[in-house]
Amino acid sequence: MRWLIDGYNVIRRSPELGARERESLEAGRRALCDLLSRAARARHDEFTVVFDGAGGGGAAGLAGVRVVFSSAREDADRVLARLAAAQGGAVVSSDREVLRAASRAGAVAVTADAFLARLAPLLGATGTGAAEEGETGDGDEPEAGIAGPKKGNPRRLGKKARAAARALGRLSPRPLR
């Protein structure tokens, strides 16, 4: 599976990665890339991490991890939206606009908290404790254009939430190395 990661957003949602970033931006980027490289080896997935900053340098991609820096004219959010439209896969961020753009592009939208919770064994932590698995960050906000109550089984997750849960399920069912 292809994963598109909002780099600084994910780093700042994790206490462990955030602590490394406080040492230096390079240390935070390196810690995230190391984490994703371990996940890539364990699951044979492809990770593309997008950071803000033209030619930010520093974090070189590791096995299974590609690092992209946004240009001076384009922020990381737009790069993620463009890559989601071109490649599909799953987009990981806590930014609602990024998640909406990913959904519009046909990609699976996954919150950074749910993603980090699945990677907690690789971090050596219990996770961030913020969001439940499969949650897309929309909360209980009504969808635009829906007039009246929703139909269907109220106990069943919505289509987007099920897609996010399937994508996250790829990260943890097998024992991690």
pTM for this entry: 0.72
* CB 80 within 8 Å of CB 98: yes
What whole-number distance in Å separates Cα of residue 161 and Cα of residue 157? 6
In the chain, what are the helix, strand and coil shares in percent, each to the nearest 5?
45, 10, 45
Cα dist. 13→7, 25, 96, 116 in Å?
Answer: 10, 15, 14, 8
Q: What is the pLDDT of residues 29-41, one digit of tens each?
A: 999 999 999 988 8
What whole-number distance in Å separates Cα of residue 6 and Cα of residue 95? 9
pLDDT band at 126 (very low <50, low <70, confident <90, very high): very low
Q: What is the pLDDT of residues 63-106, one digit of tens each?
A: 889 999 998 888 999 999 999 999 889 999 999 999 999 999 99
**pLDDT for residue 6:** 95
